[in-house]
Amino acid sequence: MILSTGRGLAIYGDENRWPKNIIPYDISAITDTLHLNLITNAMETLMYAVGTPNYQSTTRNSCVYFRPKKENDTNFLTIQYGKRCSAT
């Protein structure tokens, strides 16, 4: 599906959200250190950018958190090399 400019796609409902806003990820397919750093820095930036500023502080409370996948995680984000963006 190709969306025209200005359109988005979203799934509504609490049952479709990551529990406690924590997104486990598997980045083991990324082997280049530069790429690993770029991706993990982007995740850290996103956590900060969408956070709520704490009163009289430079810190924020994030509304989304990324963490490496644990063995018992059944739902997780897989980050891998590819030719285009995709999700399943």
The pLDDT of residue 59 is: 76
Helix (H) or strand (E) run with residue 49 in it = helix 33-49
Q: Is residue 25 part of a domain?
A: yes
Q: Is residue 37 part of a domain?
A: yes
> Does 18 or 84 have the greater pLDDT score?
18
- The helix/strand/coil state of 67 is strand
Mean pLDDT (the chain) is 84
Average pLDDT estimate for 12-25: 86
pLDDT above 90: percentage of residues in the chain: 43
Q: How many domains does the chain have?
A: 1
**CA gap 14, 1 in Å, rounded:** 24
Any domain includes 45:
yes
43, part of any domain: yes
- What is the domain range of residue 63? 19-78
CA distance linking residue 12 with residue 28, whole number of Å: 30
Decide if 6 is inside a domain. no
Tell whether pTM > 0.75.
Answer: no
In this structure, is residue 2 part of a structural domain?
Answer: no
Residues 67-77 have a mean pLDDT of: 95
In a domain, 60, yes or no: yes
Confidence label for 35 from pLDDT (cuts 50, 70 and 90): very high
